[in-house]
Structure 1
Amino acid sequence: MSSNLAERWAELPDLLAGHMLLSLAAILVGLSISLPLGILAASRPRLAAVVLNAASVIQTIPGLALLALMVPLLGGMIGYAPAFLALMLYSILPILRNTIVGLQGLDPVVREAARGIGMTPRERLWQVELPLALPVIVAGLRTAVVWVVGAATLATPVGASSLGNYIFAGLQTRNWLSVLFGCLFAAGLAIALDQIIRLLEVAARDRRKGLAVAVGVALSALVVITIAPRYVPAAVFRGAGPVVALQDGADTLADQTVVVGAKAFTEQYILGALMQTRLEEAGARVDRLDNLGSTIAFDALRTGEIDVYIDYTGTIWATVMNRSEPINRNAMLAEMTGWLYAEHGILALGGLGFENAYGFAMARDRAEALGVDSLADLASQAEGMSVGGDAEVFSRPEWVNTRNRYGLGAMQTRAMDAAFMYGAVRDGQVDLISAYTTDGRIAAFDLLVLADPLAVLPPYDAVILLSPDAAANPALVEALSGLIGAIDSEAMREANRLVDLDRQTPDQAAIWLSDHLQAGAGGNQ
């Protein structure tokens, strides 16, 4: 527990600063758009209806979906930009609505009195209307702040650094301390900002300039406290020498920065940590972008936002290449390798040596009671049964083809986080799950992976993929080449088990896996 706590504290400066920078920038830009737009629309009812309806439509889009939509809209860019754009759009409605409502709700007598003493429209706006409406406008700003700070935790899957990193990684590895850190600090940040702006509302209502100045100082102090630790240690303790990006044709990785990506599940965290170790041993500085979605990770590699990540042949085949026809493992790997290089300049460096396929698993005692050994046995019993899977599986060709070929359309589908699937099928909350075949919980929970007699499910060999720039760097290629063909399914399953069941961290499991590989290499000499 103590090492786990120490790791969480060590991650806090970067994640808290990223969360604050992202949230604050989105709120400030949203305010600069919605406030003048609200002032303009307040005296024009038709315009007010149009802009409020448009802002309301944006607000109805789930936060995670809005964030994900920004990636293709920005040409595949991940990280800060799509997260900022989505959160900025999310901040507009409450400020815009309260600005319009605050100005339209003023007593007409007040406006008439200001007009009667000879005030111009501009003077009436700045000296009478806005001061009177300011408490309502600030109340809308408070709402926007709480919404944006909360929604910023969802920025992790698009590659933006935020307190959501704690939550997503913690859920996948069942590290509840990590989840608690993310929730507490995100809530604490939202409460702190809300209370600061509440005081600003009081200052506006009571015309207390001194309080307004104090609020500004408090907000500045909060920003400095949350952001400074991210940068001061970097400047003081990292030592001399600039960090440079990858250099094509370089024969060493010394002082180069390599960005390693990983998807949002245990195995990916472990393999990301393993690659990080190999690259750092070769002299590179490594940045990690974890918790990426499948398509987001590939697009980030294609555009050079990340340099390397591990994907699976079946995922590239079905999701990226849009191919659904069955093909054997070796042919798929060869065709995928050629297609990636020809279409995108991406180098498939080679397979790691194991396959992590989709498989459909049942509790063994449940399968035996029903007389089920294969997916074909389920067709006659699908009515009334339920199947659980991760967030994306039910829209993937693997499930669609399995459902159609085996006649499982009557099954109820239940999407859930991958961290909860195995416990759900073990405890009888669902009848079947879409399991990952290298997951250590299959054996630990005594689950039976059902046979696929029609060979519907494609192969899923784990493959190292390099961006076009990374592929042109021989030192990087050399540093990772030692992993090709070095990891078998048993070793990967054990590494996953260390995290999922023994509660070790992915970094600890990566150390075990690295030691296991070195011991194997030594034994082969």
Structure 2
Amino acid sequence: MNEVLRQLPPLIASHLLLAAAAMVLALAIALPLALAAARRPTLARVTLGFAGITQTIPGLALLALFYPLLLGLSALVGGGIPALGFLPALLALTLYALLPILRTAIAGLRGIDPAVMQAADAIGMTPRQRLRLVEAPLAAPVAMAGIRTAAVWTIGTATLATTVGYPTLGNPIFAGLQIERWDLVLGGCVAAALLALAAEGALGLIERGMVRRDHRRIAAGLGLIVAGLLLALAPLARAPARSVTIGAKNFSEQYILARLIGLRLEQAGYQVRYREGLGSTVAFQALGRGDIDVYVDYAGTLWTGVMHRQDTAPRDVMLAGIEAWMAQRPKTALIGPLGFQNAYALAMRGGGGGVATIDALAARAGALTLGADLEFLDRPEWRALQRRYGLSFRAGRAYSPTFMYRALASGQVDVISAFSSDGRIAADRLTVLADTRGAIPRYDAILLVSPGHARDERMTRALRPLVNAIPVEAMRRANLMVDRDTNKATPEAAARWLDRAIRSRTARPS
């Protein structure tokens, strides 16, 4: 739990910064629109309709949509627009906050007694005076109800920004779900809930002050908000101005390898931070754009998903082809393979019910359910398996990797898309089905750096000792430490163990 408490302050700071910025931007958009829409019924229908449609889009999907939109916009203007991190999260949360603010502000303005408006006109008030002295004070208490709702929604939804590489309280929640660390999940959830309750309480104080014309309550509520922001954002003031950003996908091995890279870079004098939970294509595009500086990918992922190759090749040919392709187009750099591969592999419980090959599985697949990780069913490897073996399962279900293994153990699925470096294969005594037709390419783990660090000799010297230094047995053991051991280790602890194992192995005389 102490480790969880150490993680929270900077995450609370960045979470609050994002939520506050989204609320400020939403207010700047919604309040002028509400004022205009209150006087124009057609505009009100359009604005409320747009905001309502936005609310029907799941938060995760809305965040994902901004990534290609910002990539396209950046390409149109010649680059410079970040497609990951703060900006897409800010835009998505702003859109989410619009509806409650618009709806209550318009209702508040329309609910003012016409006699009051006529009296204001009768004493000669200008439109600006009427807005400042009559409309705004009378509509504000109603509008504040929507602002309070929007604030709570925004703080809660901001946890999803983790998926686009912005650090929030979603980091411990998503990581905890993946590695089954419920203290991380609980810490992130409780911290987000307390932030939302604090914001709602401060805004509620302002609202009651407006209703009762009590300026002291309004000042107290504003003071609490400002004090809370200053206190929560203090960790950001101490953060280093420049740091290396290490990317990671959304499973345990990636968390461990990211921390291993971080250890080596910190020892070389770099300040590091992490962007985790990235999808495969997003991670590589983020590397090419410099949104992340270094991460571990897999040869087969790049070969099929990014280079769009449908053939298979020997290890050396594949690695040389990837390195040459990267040097020509994205200008990223391949430092080298880490020494193990983490290939997709279809696996079944026990002895596989007499099934040992994917050929044999194909004859029975129509009566079986496939459990896959969140990407597999949309990946080229799955299409290649279908094409070469004619695989057609009764049903396919997607899970996060941890729950995929749980689903197999509980009998909810019959076959899973396992990972060859996962220690749970041996621990659960799973049978890995032989790919006799070579549909799945090699998945050597490879260390990649961004264009900005492709010629960074200091970084290369720090990371070069990891090349061909991690045997698959060591990676499986580190993964199992996080995924399944009784005394579950954190990714940081597993990375330190792996670092010691690498140093011990390289220190032995040959």
TM-score (normalised: structure 2): 0.93
Within 1, Cα distance between the matches of 2:314 and 2:108?
Answer: 66
Moved over 6 A (4+): none
Judged with a 3 Å threshold, the aligned counterparts in structure 2 of structure 1 residues 400 and 101 are, in CA distance, closer, same or farther, namely farther
- For residue 274 of structure 1, what is the aligned residue in structure 2? 260
Cα pair 2:205 2:220 within 8 Å, conserved? no
Q: Which runs of 5+ in 1 are unaligned?
A: 235-242, 246-256
- For residue 462 of structure 2, what is the aligned residue in structure 1? 479
Within 2, Cα distance between the matches of 1:208 and 1:386?
Answer: 63
Matched-pair identity in %? 48
- For residue 449 of structure 1, what is the aligned residue in structure 2? 432
Shift of 1:352: 0.6
- For residue 271 of structure 2, what is the aligned residue in structure 1? 285
- For residue 155 of structure 1, what is the aligned residue in structure 2? 161
Q: Please show how residues 394-409 of structure 1 align to structure 2 within 5 Å.
A: 394-409=377-392
Equivalent of 2:208 in 195, 202, 205: 202
1:6 matched to 2:12? no
The C-alpha deviation readout for 1:231-285, integer Å capped at 9, x for no partner, is: 35x5xxxxxxxx675xxxxxxxxxxx43222222111111111112222222222
The C-alpha deviation readout for 1:312-342, integer Å capped at 9, x for no partner, is: 0111122222222333332221111111110
1:100 matched to 2:106? yes
The C-alpha deviation readout for 1:457-510, integer Å capped at 9, x for no partner, is: 121110011112211111211111111111111111111111111211111111
Q: Please show how residues 113-512 of structure 1 align to structure 2 within 5 Å.
A: 113-232=119-238, 257-364=243-350, 367-368=352-353, 371-502=354-485, 503-512=488-497
Q: Which amino acid aligns with 1:107?
A: D
Mean CA deviation greater in 277-286 or 82-91: 277-286
Mean CA deviation greater in 95-104 or 407-416: 407-416
Shift of 1:127: 2.4
Within 1, Cα distance between the matches of 2:195 and 2:115?
Answer: 41
Q: Which amino acid aligns with 1:518?
A: R
Within 2, Cα distance between the matches of 1:117 and 1:182?
Answer: 55
The C-alpha deviation readout for 1:134-186, integer Å capped at 9, x for no partner, is: 22211111111111111110111211111011111111211110011001100
Equivalent of 2:44 in 35, 42, 48: 48
Secondary structure of the structure 2 residue equivalent to 1:364: coil
Within 2, Cα distance between the matches of 1:59 and 1:275?
Answer: 39
Question: Could you say what the CA RMSD is over the residues aligned between the two structures, in angstroms?
Answer: 1.8
Q: Which amino acid aligns with 2:16?
A: M
The C-alpha deviation readout for 1:217-244, integer Å capped at 9, x for no partner, is: 1111221222224435x5xxxxxxxx67
Shift of 1:115: 3.4
Cα pair 2:21 2:90 within 8 Å, conserved? yes
- For residue 518 of structure 1, what is the aligned residue in structure 2? 503
Within 2, Cα distance between the matches of 1:453 and 1:134?
Answer: 70
Within 1, Cα distance between the matches of 2:28 and 2:171?
Answer: 29
Mean CA deviation greater in 265-274 or 279-288: 279-288
Q: Which amino acid aligns with 1:314?
A: G
Shift of 1:106: 3.1
Cα pair 1:311 1:462 within 8 Å, conserved? yes
- For residue 254 of structure 1, what is the aligned residue in structure 2? none
TM-score (normalised: structure 1): 0.91
Cα pair 1:363 1:426 within 8 Å, conserved? yes
Cα pair 2:247 2:283 within 8 Å, conserved? yes
Secondary structure of the structure 1 residue equivalent to 2:45: helix
Q: Which runs of 5+ in 2 are unaligned?
A: 72-81
Mean CA deviation greater in 274-283 or 209-218: 274-283
Cα pair 1:13 1:230 within 8 Å, conserved? no
Q: Which amino acid aligns with 1:465?
A: L
1:57 matched to 2:42? no
Shift of 1:514: 1.5
Shift of 1:438: 0.7
Judged with a 3 Å threshold, the aligned counterparts in structure 2 of structure 1 residues 318 and 136 are, in CA distance, closer, same or farther, namely farther
The C-alpha deviation readout for 1:347-392, integer Å capped at 9, x for no partner, is: 1111111110111111125x22xx3222222333333422122222
Within 1, Cα distance between the matches of 2:208 and 2:69?
Answer: 40
Mean CA deviation greater in 311-320 or 23-32: 311-320
Q: Which amino acid aligns with 1:452?
A: D
Cα pair 2:34 2:106 within 8 Å, conserved? yes
Corresponding pairs, count: 498
Cα pair 1:426 1:447 within 8 Å, conserved? no
Shift of 1:128: 2.3
Mean CA deviation greater in 424-433 or 275-284: 275-284
Mean CA deviation greater in 95-104 or 486-495: 95-104
